[in-house]
C-alpha cells in the first residue's frame, strides 16, 4: 500500500459534508457511502415533494378557514347520534 501517489489528482468536496474527496475514491464524488446515501435521501425527499399530488389552492383556503366549510354538519356536533 503506497503511502503517497502523485498529487496531480483533482480534489473535490463531498456534496454532503464538504470533506475533500479524490476522484479515485470508491464513493466519489462522496467521501463515503454514508454521505452518498445522505445525498440520495435529499433527492428522494425532493422527488417525493414533486410527485405528491398537487393541492388545489381552493382546498388550501378551505383548510385554512374551517369556518368556510362549516355550512351544516358541524352545528350541534355530538348532540345527535
- Report helix, strand or coil for 79: coil
Number of Cβ within 10 Å of residue 72's Cβ equals 6
Nearer to Zn ion, 23 or 68 (CB): 23
Separation of alpha carbons 6 and 24, rounded Å = 12
Q: Which residues pair with 12 in a beta bridge?
A: 21
Q: Does 36 bind Zn ion (CB under 5 A)?
A: no
Nearer to Zn ion, 12 or 17 (CB): 17
Window contacting Zn ion (CB under 5 A); options: 9-17, 39-47, 62-70, 71-79: 9-17
- Joined together, the cell numbers standing for residue 9 give 489528482
Please identify which residue in 9, 11, 19, 47 interacts with Zn ion, judged by CB under 5 A. Answer: 19
Question: Which positions touch Zn ion (CB under 5 A)?
Answer: 14, 16-17, 19, 31, 35
Amino acid at each position: 500500500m503506497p503511502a503517497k501517489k502523485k498529487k496531480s489528482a483533482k480534489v473535490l468536496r463531498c456534496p454532503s459534508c464538504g470533506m475533500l474527496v479524490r476522484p479515485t475514491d470508491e464513493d466519489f464524488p462522496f467521501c463515503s457511502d454514508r454521505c452518498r446515501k445522505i445525498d440520495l435521501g435529499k433527492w428522494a425527499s425532493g422527488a417525493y415533494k414533486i410527485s405528491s399530488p398537487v393541492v388545489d389552492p381552493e382546498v388550501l383556503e378551505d383548510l385554512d378557514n374551517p369556518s368556510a366549510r362549516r355550512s351544516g354538519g358541524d352545528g350541534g356536533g355530538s348532540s345527535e347520534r
